[in-house]
Amino acid sequence: PEMDGLEVCKRLRTQKDTPIIMITAKGEIYDKVTGLDIGADDYIVKPFEIEELLARSRALIRRYSDENVSDTNVVE
């Protein structure tokens, strides 16, 4: 690959407010902290159960949906 996942995450963060879940085989605490500090919203280490990925995806979508609703709707 031309760049690693951390670089992809950095570039996505500078361009857009896109939800990011990092899925990786790197499970050391340093890797997790680095991924989250770079800009990932969540970090999952392989192997994982698909139910966990789906639950984390739903939670992330809820958070981003709530942010977009609160940013665009003003109650006076």
Three-state SS at 2: coil
Buried b (16+ CB within 10 A) or exposed e, 33-69: ebbeebbbbbbbeeeeeeeeeeebeeeeeeeeeeeee
Facing residues of 21 across strands?
42
> What's the pTM?
0.78
Assign domain 5-71 to its CATH architecture: 3-Layer(aba) Sandwich (3.40)
- Residue by residue, pLDDT tens for the chain (76 residues) are 689 999 999 999 988 888 999 999 999 999 999 999 999 999 999 999 999 999 999 999 999 887 664 444 444 4
Q: What is the DSSP string of 32-73?
A: HHHHHHHT-SEEEESS--HHHHHHHHHHHHHHHHHHHHHHH-
